[in-house]
Amino acid sequence: MGKPTGFIEYDRKEAKASSPKERIKNFNEFHTPLPEEEQKCQAARCMDCGVPFCQSGMTIKGMTSGCPLNNLIPEWNDLVYEGNWERAYNRLHKTSNFPEFTSRVCPALCEKACTCGLNGEPVCTKENELAIIEKAYANGWAAAKPPVVRTGKKIAVIGSGPAGLAVADQLNTRGHNVTVFERSDRIGGLLRYGIPNMKLEKHIIDRKLDVMREEGVEFVVNANVGADVKAKDILKEYDAVVLACGASNPRDINAPGRDANGIYFAVDFLTSTTKALLDNGLKEGTYISARDKNVVVIGGGDTGNDCVGTCIRHGCKSVTQLEMMPKAPDERAESNPWPQWPLVCKTDYGQEEAIAVFGHDPRIYTTTVKEFVKDKKGNLSKLITVSLESKIDEKTGRRMMVPVDGTEKEIPCEIVLIAAGFLGTQKYVTDAFGVELNERTNIKTDADSYATSVNGIFTAGDCHTGQSLVVKAIRQGRDCARAVDQYLMGYTNL
């Protein structure tokens, strides 16, 4: 350890965020990194704890504790404190393909499992990671390093989200020839269009893609495999195929009036904003606009929060966020001890901005939609909501959230954004390749395997496990690449 007493001497200090009313004026990232010397002090807070849960990636009571990539966190924190940034980058890159993404959008599972956080504030691991990767780009350490030898093997990766990109990066490093097919007009999957610009500016993605191209990865856009591009042609040309096409079927809300104009899935709404930003600087009329409208967001997760922040930047009249579940406690319950993931209430950037602009938290808990009400032209005019309570289903024994009669309320709104999550991959892709699905409509494999029911076809990411985190998708991609390499070469050194 460079500073054994650092966690005692230094308090946690985070990058400063612009004020909510200032940052909503644009779609830019809004945190100012700490000066280098201060960042080194934050790295010095990393304890010589003996058992670094931060890098464990364990599953405890169904939740992940620590980094799924098993990043060597104590090692590179120590190197940052010592000022040895290049070695810190080398240790980080050993386990992580895309620290420029995870340091911006990951919920920092590492910090929630930090030993320093047991009786105080955890180490600023996520910000230390960001400092390392940005310094690596600034100094040329993250520049392209094409493989010296090529194997002659060709792999097609279907989907360019974090799992697909991780597969491609790993297999290209091994010397295989990799082509990534993306059905959209730009590479990145949900990194590109599902995560708003203020969390991940898109030039950050492009910067890494430029490196990958220089290293030999080929990218093909506007290639909807299974529809416009035939699966049989892919199978004929490539030695192996990886399906990394995400969990693309959004959960719907089936209530009366669902056909009203003005109801959108969250991913379509967020995509329209980002695409317009990239295409024309958000020219009015080229995206789904919330300007001067009452908006209701259905769903309390990260995507729902992103919708809240985006609507406020549009200039909405009001925004309300409906959550089916009760408000989580502000502090850990005794039944939720460290190092489990903390089941506590989180007020994210979008909610902070709503509070600043409208004077109150936008969230309404234990509530769902009973009816969408249309005007005479078929446009959405208001919602009828109903409160929910938790009950045990007598037939299944499962706890369910059920409506409470007599609790109906009206909320005026012209736009509803459904952010209720995703279910399974899109069937036309899996049908085209003939792979089997499991009971949750994800691509089926044996336990701890990435090989599908069809020889030479593999899978990774959300289409394999269901909707999850970017960091977990990257881990899936890395592990899948290892399985592909083993299949192609008879051994693997990935």
Confirm if 401 and 324 have CB atoms less than 8 A apart.
yes
What is the Cα–Cα distance from 44 to 42, expressed in whole angstroms? Answer: 5
DSSP string computed for 429-445: HHHHHT--B-TTSSBP-
DSSP code at position 225: B
Q: Convert the pLDDT of each residue in 374-411 to its tens digit.
A: 999 999 999 999 999 999 988 888 889 999 999 999 99
What is the Cα–Cα distance from 238 to 156, expressed in whole angstroms? Answer: 6
Terminal-residue alpha carbon distance, the chain: 29
Dihedral sign (CA 82, 57, 142, 196): negative
Mean local confidence (pLDDT), 423-448: 94
Please enumerate in sequence order all residues whose Cβ is within 8 A of that of 331, keeping only pairs 6 or more positions apart, or say none. Answer: 344
What is the Cα–Cα distance from 327 to 363, expressed in whole angstroms? Answer: 9
Residue 261 is predicted with a pLDDT of 98
Tokens of 56: 């464990």
> One-letter amino acid identity for 399?
R
- The percent of residues above 70 in pLDDT, for the chain, comes to 100
Task: Report strand pairing: 415-418 vs 294-298.
Answer: parallel
Q: Convert the pLDDT of each residue in 204-245 to its tens digit.
A: 999 999 999 999 999 999 999 999 999 999 999 999 999 999
Residue 48 is predicted with a pLDDT of 83
Banded model confidence at residue 1, pLDDT cuts 50, 70, 90: low
What is the Cα–Cα distance from 473 to 477, expressed in whole angstroms? Answer: 6
Among residues 245, 224, 220, 235, the alpha carbon closest in space to that of 155 is found at 235
What is the Cα–Cα distance from 56 to 251, expressed in whole angstroms? Answer: 32
Residue 397 is predicted with a pLDDT of 84
What is the Cα–Cα distance from 297 to 416, expressed in whole angstroms? Answer: 6
pTM for the model stands at 0.96
Mean local confidence (pLDDT), 447-460: 97
Tokens of 464: 């394999």
Q: Is the pLDDT of residue 354 over 80?
A: yes
Q: How many CB atoms are located within 10 Å of the residue 133 CB? A: 25
Q: Do domains 154-248+423-489 and 263-418 have the same CATH topology?
A: yes
Tokens of 303: 């995507």
Among residues 311, 376, 394, the alpha carbon closest in space to that of 349 is found at 311
Q: Convert the pLDDT of each residue in 249-308 to its tens digit.
A: 999 999 999 999 999 999 999 999 999 999 999 999 999 999 999 999 999 999 999 999
What is the Cα–Cα distance from 464 to 244, expressed in whole angstroms? Answer: 8
Task: Report strand pairing: 380-392 vs 218-220.
Answer: unpaired
Dihedral pair phi/psi, residue 320, rounded to 5°:
-125, 140
Most distant CA atoms of the chain, gap in Å: 71
Domain ranges of the chain: 6-138, 154-248+423-489, 263-418
Q: 338: buried, middle or exposed (CB in 10 Å: 19+, 13-18, 0-12)? A: middle
Cis peptide before 339 (omega within 30 of 0): yes
- The percent of residues above 90 in pLDDT, for the chain, comes to 95
What is the Cα–Cα distance from 305 to 451, expressed in whole angstroms? Answer: 35
Mean pLDDT (the chain, rounded): 96
Among residues 483, 493, 481, 494, the alpha carbon closest in space to that of 163 is found at 481
> Strand ranges (DSSP E) for 329-453?
363-364, 367-374, 380-392, 399-403, 409-412, 415-418
What is the Cα–Cα distance from 252 to 352, expressed in whole angstroms? Answer: 27
Q: What is the CATH number of domain 154-248+423-489?
A: 3.50.50.60
Q: Is the pLDDT of residue 2 over 90?
A: no
Please enumerate in sequence order all residues whose Cβ is within 8 A of that of 67, keeping only pairs 6 or more positions apart, or say none. Answer: 54, 55, 56, 57, 73, 109, 110, 471
Mean local confidence (pLDDT), 81-97: 97
Please enumerate in sequence order all residues whose Cβ is within 8 A of that of 5, keeping only pairs 6 or more positions apart, or say none. Answer: none
Confirm if 348 and 302 have CB atoms less than 8 A apart.
yes
Q: Please identify, in words, the CATH class of the domain defined by 6-138.
A: mainly alpha
Q: Distance of CA 309 to CAs 25, 279, 286, 479, Å?
A: 11, 21, 19, 34
What is the Cα–Cα distance from 278 to 263, expressed in whole angstroms? Answer: 24
Q: What is the CATH number of domain 263-418?
A: 3.50.50.60
Confirm if 442 and 436 have CB atoms less than 8 A apart.
no
Mean local confidence (pLDDT), 155-162: 98
